A = this chain, B = another copy of it.
Amino acid sequence: MDQIVQDAISILRKQGLRVTEQRKLILQALANSQSPWSAEETHANLPPGSCDLVTVYRCLDQFDKAGVIDLGVRENGTKVYCLGHGLGHHHHLTCRDCGRTERIDLCMGEELEETAKSFGFIEISHIMEVFGRCPSCVN
C-alpha cells in the first residue's frame, strides 16, 4: 500500500470515519491513477465485485469532505477526484478528445482566498480545469 494511502487512512481515522476494505481499495485505486477519475472510472479500476458503484460515490464524497482527495469537474459536468499524487494541490490539463491529462502547477488559490475574504466569504474552495486538444489528437 502506498504511503499516501496510509496517510489518507490515518486522516480518516482521526475524523472518526471507519476504514473498510472498500475504502482502502478506492484510495489505492486513486493513488495508482495518473489522472483524476470519476466515480465510474474509479469503480472500473477496482477488483471486480469488490465494491458497489454506489459505495464509490458515497466514499468519494466523504473523502472530499474529509479533505483527503481533491474534487474537479470535467467540461461536461462530471465530477472527478484525485489523491494529491503526494504533491499537494494542483490542477490538470485534459484533452477533450482522448482524455489524456497533464499536471499543471499553476494555481492562484491564495489570491482567490484573499479576494473571497474581502467579500466576507469563508470556507473558500475552488475548481479549475483546463481543456484543449493534445498533439496526438490534432491530426
Contact = CB atoms under 8 A, between A and B. Distances in A.
Nearest to A105: B115
A54 interface: no
Interface of A: 71, 73, 75-79, 93, 95-96, 102, 104, 106, 108, 111-112, 115-116, 119-135, 138
A130 B135 contact: no
A126 to B, nearest CB: 5
Q: How many copies does the complex hold?
A: 2
Contacts of A102: 119, 121
A127 B125 contact: no
A26 B112 CA distance: 31
Given A116-B132, A122-B132, A126-B129, 6 more contacts: A71-B75, A102-B119, A108-B108, A120-B134, A125-B130, A127-B129
Closest 10 CB pairs of A and B: A121-B132, A77-B77, A120-B135, A128-B128, A124-B132, A126-B130, A73-B73, A127-B129, A123-B133, A102-B119
A131 B124 CA distance: 6
Contact of A126 (B79, B131, B135): B131
